[in-house]
Amino acid sequence: MNPLAIELNDILKGTTVFELLSDFGKRFFFPKGIVTQSAEAKQKAHRFNATVGMATLGPDPLYMKTMKEWLPSLTAGEIFPYAPTPGVPALRELWKEEIYAKNPAAAGKNISLPLVTTGLTHGISTIADMFFDKGDKIVIPDMFWGNYRLIFEGRCEAEIVSFPFFSEEGGINMAGLESALRAQSPEKTALILNFPNNPTGYSPSVSEVEQITALLVKLAEEGRKLLVISDDAYFGLFFEEDTCTESVFGFLADAHENILAVKVDGATKEELAWGFRVGFITYGGKGLTDEHYTALLKKTGGAVRANISNSSKLGQSLIYNILKDPSHKAQKDESVKLMKVRYLKVREALAKYSPDCILKPLPFNSGYFMTFIVEGKSSEALRLFLLEEYGIGTISIQDKYLRVAYSSVDEDDIAPLYELLEEAAEKL
């Protein structure tokens, strides 16, 4: 094993983090190669810096003026250079401030500096590499984003263990969650929670988050080592008063020494910046020191370096400037308001459905989506029927669910869309 990996492992030994790491995670480190040497030179090479494989002209990067003309408000240094592998420092600090501001439950808790990833998919994939070996298991509610299967099972050869997301009463199935967790190895019990959920559009109530937190703490007190990943891709899109508007991460970041909380989030949906591919990984754990976090971030940074080298400097610069813009909050509030109007229009449309309709909506209160159970019929057959006969695109899941992304339908088109969905279901 590389001496740098051994050094980082020695720092982390005795913590839950070390016990949860995969073989990959234990082997990995941030190399003292070109990137590290370049960073050192950037600080100390005041005369000549001949380290980075990037063309420069004076103090600025060499660039094509036609490219710069499309981005007149940014400097060349904000656009063209490589970004540091862990991300632009100013953006990382700012995103950490954003986490605290949006999640009062995290106040006063020592969490890591966020590490930049190329979108949330890359963030979750990096965490999978860091913590999952072949044959490891991860608990996921049965309504989950299909890419999890590619990441955890296809990439890492881990196994997804699912349980019914909703109870018969309509909320989160707490008994199913506990049963699924207790069936896992106490040495590594892994869970991923995605709120607002894709595909259902459901987020827990304050009471449900309290129950989830209490359950996980109880399991930790019994000696179980827990890795809890919060996939916060749709964070901020909450439309009902009783919905918890914070990430589960904030409640778990300092909950128990046996819990390592991981927050994977980003600008993708939060800042309407889908193609920018700017995501973040943030760690939180009771008893973890800044030295522990630095070691863990070096390992994670090594995983990023070995995969994509670094994320887009341009995307990070744009997100940083967007977040610092005085008009940002008002614009963001307006976008959330627009989504809420569409959500309410969906509620109005569903209220007009016949009780005999085979489309039964699952609980939803947030995010971009809602999902129907298609009773007694194939959801794939319905999807194709909608596409071929009506020109309507939807998503079929497990041949019994139909996901509708009302986020991409204008307000005035929602009522006609849902009328046609019911009509097609009746004809099928």
Instruction: Note the pLDDT of residue 63.
Output: 62
Asked if 341 and 192 sit in the same domain, the reply is: no
Instruction: Note the pLDDT of residue 62.
Output: 63
Instruction: Note the pLDDT of residue 69.
Output: 81
pLDDT in tens, 59-108: 776 665 766 787 888 888 998 889 999 999 999 999 999 999 999 999 99
Instruction: Note the pLDDT of residue 274.
Output: 83
Asked if 148 and 283 sit in the same domain, the reply is: yes
Regarding pTM above 0.85, the answer is: yes
pLDDT in tens, 53-70: 565 666 776 665 766 787
d(CA 327, CA 116): 24
Instruction: Note the pLDDT of residue 18.
Output: 93
Domain boundary among 309, 324, 339: 324
- Which range marks the domain in which residue 418 is found? 329-427
Q: What are φ and ψ of residue 293, in 5° steps?
A: -60, -40
Asked if 128 and 266 sit in the same domain, the reply is: yes
Instruction: Note the pLDDT of residue 54.
Output: 60
d(CA 395, CA 382): 10
Asked if 344 and 314 sit in the same domain, the reply is: no
Domain boundary among 306, 324, 342: 324
CA triple 131-137-142, angle to 5 deg: 120
Q: What are φ and ψ of residue 278, in 5° steps?
A: -120, 110
d(CA 157, CA 290): 32
d(CA 202, CA 172): 9
Instruction: Note the pLDDT of residue 263.
Output: 98
Asked if 199 and 115 sit in the same domain, the reply is: yes
Low-confidence ranges of the chain (pLDDT < 70): 32-41, 45-58, 61-64, 66-67
Instruction: Note the pLDDT of residue 29.
Output: 87
Instruction: Note the pLDDT of residue 49.
Output: 64
d(CA 215, CA 135): 25
